[in-house]
A and B are shown apart, each in its own frame.
Chain A
Amino acid sequence: MYDVIIIGAGPAGLSAAIACREWDVHVLVIDEFVKPGGRLLGQLHEEPTGEWWNGIEETKRLMNKAESLDTDIRCGVSVHHVEKANDGFVVHTNKGNFEAGNVLIATGAAETAAPVPGWTLPGVMSIGAAQVMTNVHRVRVGEKGVVIGVNVLSAAIARELQLAGVNLHSMMLPAMNPVTKEHAHPKKVMDGLSRIAHLAPSAFLRFGSRFTKSDFVRKVATQFYPKSGVKMWGMPIHLRKAVTQINGKDRVESVTVFDVTADGKLIKGTERRIEVDFVCIAGGLYPLAELASVVGLPFQYLEELGGHVPVHNEKMETPIDGVYVAGNITGIESAKVARAQGTVAGLSIAKKHVAGKADLDYRLLQATEQVKTIRNEATIQFHPHISEGREKMEQAYRRIVNA
């Protein structure tokens, strides 16, 4: 019987484990990937300060700390069910059942599909898949490819592929269909891109700054978007070209591209084929919350947070006593926010076990403030109204707990 089982060994799960171990809480961390770190592992970008955010190094730092505190971390363990028992929870996994007084669900996020006909062909993958292959496994995903879907995440990862010497032809939109909707609408995509305007280094800055000003400017910019795209690090980003079809017999051979109007309609007679051997599809991220649902947590749909999110408060507590959440399951934000939230969750769990320590109360207060500070200083805002979303969630928690 553990004091707490932490599901997910990403930045949230690991920092929660560290906070717990510092107060001698008996912890088991499980993760289904072959190594700890979660999606932090693949991250690699230049900060406005000129320093590199290197996910592998950040993971090592967390792991060294966790190991120095004798943290039990097991990889290759998949959780398929979490069940309430008399005095805690039973966590069902492919390696058997584990019991704990508390559970922290830190499962992160998954990628939204933006499917285009032909997307099941070998050689088509999500942009995150390409990121893991490139930076974690150090495998080239192909010789020449395109990215379908233009957003904060895909622009950042496209740069990572370029850095590794992978040849990207361009970034384009998916053709409009009942699933791709806003990902296929040039003006809406433009609105999203304005959020990366402040990003360093200068290429992002130059690219984004064209669109930041006002809604009107963005509308005009979409209308008169250059035919040759806008280049970022030498790679054209097209908002007025869309991929209608991925072609190939047994693997990706080409994509069919049309010019589109400012509201995403195909323009007849503009069809052409681009030969590629891989395609990355990028539809953004949503909180990976199945286990929260299985354990019975109530949900709120908050667009600002990336979709359906289990109800929780800023101490990372949920309406179910003993169930905690942290990281991207609580809303799509950066790994730095996830890491800070993990510390909050760990301290909340520790507080339950080490009662009456004034020091711990103070540390928890500090940690919750730290989350807000990091949020405000974030380089990448996945959603412009993230703080409002957080406030709505806090209200939802109070409503449900007081009811």
Chain B
Amino acid sequence: MRNNRRIVDHPVLGKLSDRKEITFTFDGQTYTGYEGDTIASALLANGVRTLRVHEESGKPRGIYCNIGHCFECRVNVNDEPGVRACLTEVKDNMVVKSGRVLPSPLVSTVNDTLPRTYAEFIEQQEDKKGEV
């Protein structure tokens, strides 16, 4: 079932009125959404959570703030890169592609042990304590 994560009946907001269906693709797969959807809402309605991977680590990312501030949801739309899925209205025949890993020009040549995340920082602190 596609486009099935909709809140059709709402006790206060009422029934989801007939919206015009539109068709678009995401990474080559065809999906349907409703007119007025953003790319992010149309994809989530289809159960798609991962919109890109971190450009360097390849770890998956999805929407976070959903109002354009965090830039976590950037995708490629009709060949334009870096478009925020949460602020962009999905259109008929739109071609959307997820963000990919990019070649890194800055691969460290030295044995780099600096922490990359807070979790790693804590881990290293614990390790240091263990050494002493």
A residues with CB within 8 A of B: 32-35, 39, 44, 52, 54, 56, 76, 78, 110-111, 115, 117, 120-126, 128-130, 132-135, 137-141, 163-166, 177-178, 250-251, 288
B67 at the A interface (CB under 8 A): yes
CA distance A52 to B8 in the complex (A): 19
Interface SS of chain B:
loop
- Listed by A's residue number, 13 A-B pairs whose Cβ atoms lie within 8 Å are A33-B67, A78-B87, A110-B67, A110-B69, A120-B72, A123-B49, A128-B65, A132-B66, A133-B66, A137-B44, A138-B16, A139-B5, A250-B50
B63 at the A interface (CB under 8 A): yes
Interface 1/0 per residue, B1-39 and A, CB below 8 Å: 000011110111100100000000000000000001110
CA distance A117 to B117 in the complex (A): 9
List 8 additional contacts besides A125-B65, A133-B66; criterion CB under 8 Å: A33-B68, A34-B36, A54-B12, A120-B61, A124-B62, A128-B65, A140-B5, A141-B44
> Inside 8 A of A54's CB, which chain B residues have their CB?
12-13
Known interface pairs A126-B65, A128-B65, A137-B41; A33-B87 also in contact (CB < 8 Å): yes
B119 at the A interface (CB under 8 A): yes
Contact B67 A129 (CB under 8 A): yes
B8 CB to closest chain A CB, in angstroms? 8
Contact A120 B59 (CB under 8 A): yes
Contact B41 A139 (CB under 8 A): yes
Which chain B residue lies CB-closest to A288?
B69
Contact B119 A117 (CB under 8 A): yes
B residues with CB within 8 A of A: 5-8, 10-13, 16, 36-38, 41, 44-45, 49-51, 54, 59-70, 72, 86-89, 117-119
CA distance A73 to B9 in the complex (A): 31
CA distance A134 to B88 in the complex (A): 17
CA distance A35 to B45 in the complex (A): 19
**Quick one: which of B65, B118, B119 contacts A129, CB cutoff 8 A?**
B65
Contact A52 B61 (CB under 8 A): no
Closest 9 CB pairs of A and B: A122-B62, A129-B66, A137-B41, A122-B49, A34-B89, A138-B7, A139-B45, A140-B5, A122-B50
CA distance A132 to B86 in the complex (A): 10
Contact B37 A129 (CB under 8 A): no
Contact B10 A138 (CB under 8 A): yes
CA distance A298 to B6 in the complex (A): 45
> Inside 8 A of B36's CB, which chain A residues have their CB?
34-35
Contact B61 A164 (CB under 8 A): no
**Quick one: which of A44, A115, A123 contacts B13, CB cutoff 8 A?**
A44
Which chain A residue lies CB-closest to B19?
A138
Contact A110 B87 (CB under 8 A): no
